[in-house]
Amino acid sequence: MTSPDTTRICPVTPLSLREGEPPRPAVHLDPHLPSFCADVHEIYDELVEEHPVVWSTTNGGFWMLTGYRPVYEATRDDALFTCSSGVGLPRDGEESALPPGTGPIPIETDPPYTQQYRKAALGPLSPRSVAALEPAIRAMADEFVDAFIETGEGDLVQQLATPLPARVTLRLLGMDESRWAEWVQWIHAIIHGTADEGREAQGAVFAHVTAEIQARTADPRGPDDLLTSIIGCQVDGEPIGFSEQVRYVFLILLGGMDTTSGLTGNALVHLGRDDELRRTLVERRDLLRTATEEFLRIGTPTQGQVRTLSRDVEFHGQQMRSGERALVLWAAANRDPAEFPDPQVVDLERWPNRHMAFGVGTHRCLGSNLARTMFQVMVDVVLDRLPDFRITVDQVPRFADACNVYAPTSLPVTFRPGARRPG
C-alpha cells in the first residue's frame, strides 16, 4: 500500500482485498460523520474528477459512485444494483435503524414488483392531481408567512420549509395535519437520529399508520385518495399485505417530510447569500421553472441510495463482488463537469439540465411533481413577500449526518416587516 496524498480532503490509496485481484482505489470516508457534511461538496468534486468509483473502508466497506456516468448506469441497472436487500448504510458500530423487512416500499423492491407497487400512487401524485392541490399549498404558505411577517424576522426553515411539506403530506394522506410537528419529530429521528432514536420513532410511526390504515379500510374514500389507493394496491393480482401497506405509507412520510424541506432550505441559502441571484429571480419569475431544476441539481437534498451487487462484475474499471454494497450518489453526479459545465455555478437558465435529484429509471421519486410544486410555491411566496430577506448567521446549521439528507435545520432571517394577507 502506498502513502495517500495528504493534500486532498479525502486521500485515495490503492487497497488489495484479495490475492491476485487488482488493488482498488480506497478512501477512509464515513458519510455519516459531521466532517463529511462540512466538506461534502469539496469531497464530491475531488472524487468525481479523479476517482468516480472508489471503495470506502468504513461502515463495513462499500463502493462510492460519484461520477455522472457510473451513477446513471448503476441507477438504471436494477438487475446488477439491487434495492430489495438494501437497508441503508449503517453507522460504524451501529445496526441500521431500519431492520430488513421494515424499510420503505416501493423504493426497497426490485422489478418487476417495483412497477406494480408504484401504480397505486401514480394517480394521486399525478401532475393533474398536484395542480388541483396547488391553490391550497399557496394558501398554506401565506398562512405560515403571515405568522411572522409583521415582526421583521423569522426562520424560513422552521416556520415555512419544514411545516408546509409536512402538512401537505398529511393532507394528501387524509390524516390530521394539525399534528405535523409531531410527525416531523419522528421522521427526523428516523433519518437523522441514532439507531435507538430511529427505532423508537419508527415504532411510533408504524403504530399511528396502522391505526390510520385500519380506519381507512373500514371507511375507504375515492380513487384520488392516496391512502385508499395504497390499501387497494395489488401485486401479481393479489392485494399487498398489511405490513406492506404500512411500509408504503412510511415511504410517503419519509419523502414528504424531509426532502422538500431540505431542497427549499438549500435554495434559500443560495438566494440569501447572493443578492444578484435573488434580484434576478425576483424580477424574472419566468425563470422559476428552470431555476427549480438548477436548485435540485446544486442543492440535491437526498444524496443517494445504497444498493447491493447481485453478481461479480467489472464496472468502470473496478472489480466488484457479489454482495458488496454501493452508495449511488446522485448529489455527487449532479456536480460532474463532464455533464454540467461550471457545476459550482448556480445558473438559473441552465438547460438542458439532466440532473438526478429524483433518481432515474424504475425507482425515480414518486413525489417529484408534488415536490416541485411545493418548492416553487414556497420560493415564489418568499420572493413576493420577503424580497429583501437577509440571513443573520455566518454558518447555517445543518443536520450533522448528510448521508441521508443534506439540509439546513434552521435559517434565521430579517426583512422589512410586511402585512398579513387579508382574510
From residue 127, give the alpha-carbon distance in Å to each of 106, 133, 147, 285, 403: 20, 10, 30, 21, 30
Distance of alpha carbon 80 from its chain centroid, rounded?
Answer: 23
Name residues whose C-beta falls within 8 Å of residue 410's C-beta, 6 or more positions apart in sequence. Answer: 155, 157, 158, 396, 397
The percent helix, strand, coil of the chain (3-state, each to 5) is 45, 10, 40
Secondary structure element (H or E) that encloses residue 385, with its range: helix 368-385
pLDDT at residue 2 is higher than 50? no
Q: Quick one: cell of 334?
A: 449532479
Which grid cell is 132? 388541483
Query: Which pTM value belongs to this model?
Result: 0.95
Q: What angle do CA 166, 169, 170 make, to 5 degrees?
A: 90
Cβ–Cβ under 8 Å, residues 88 and 58: no
For residue 20, is pLDDT > 90?
A: no
pLDDT in the model for residue 1: 42
Q: Position 309: which residue type?
A: L
Are 327 and 65 in contact, with CB atoms under 8 Å apart? yes
Pairing of strands 62-65, 325-329: parallel
b/e 364-401 (16+ beta carbons within 10 angstroms → b): ebbbbbbbbbbbbbbbebbbebbeebebeeeebebbeb
pLDDT for 5: 53
180-192 helix and 163-172 helix, angle to the nearest 10 degrees: 110
Q: Which of 403, 258, 267, 388 is nearest to 328 (CA)?
A: 403
Measure Cα distances from 100 to 95, 103, 210 in Å: 11, 7, 19
**31-83 pLDDT per residue, tens:** 999 999 999 999 999 999 999 999 999 999 999 999 999 999 999 999 999 99
Alpha-carbon Rg for the chain, nearest whole angstrom, is 22
| Tens digits of residue pLDDT in 95-121 | 655 566 678 999 999 999 999 999 999
Tens of pLDDT, residue by residue over 231-287, are 999 999 999 999 999 999 999 999 888 899 999 999 999 999 999 999 999 999 999
Cα distances from 134 to residues 172, 281, 323, 409, in angstroms, run: 12, 20, 44, 25
Contacts of 398 (CB under 8 A, 6+ apart): 37, 406, 407, 408, 409
Which domains are assigned to the chain?
A: 13-414 (1.10.630.10)
Q: Which three cell numbers stand for residue 245?
A: 401497506
Relative to beta strand 412-414, strand 390-391 is antiparallel
Q: What is the pLDDT of residue 88?
A: 73
Site of grid cell 466538506? 39
Report the pLDDT value the prediction gives residue 403, as an integer from 0 to 100: 86
Q: How far apart are CA 330 and CA 340, in angstroms?
A: 13
Q: How sure is the predictor about 164, in pLDDT bands with cuts at 50, 70 and 90?
A: very high
Cα dihedral sign for 333, 184, 240, 172?
A: negative
Shortest CA distance to 107 belongs to which of 251, 262, 261, 277?
A: 251
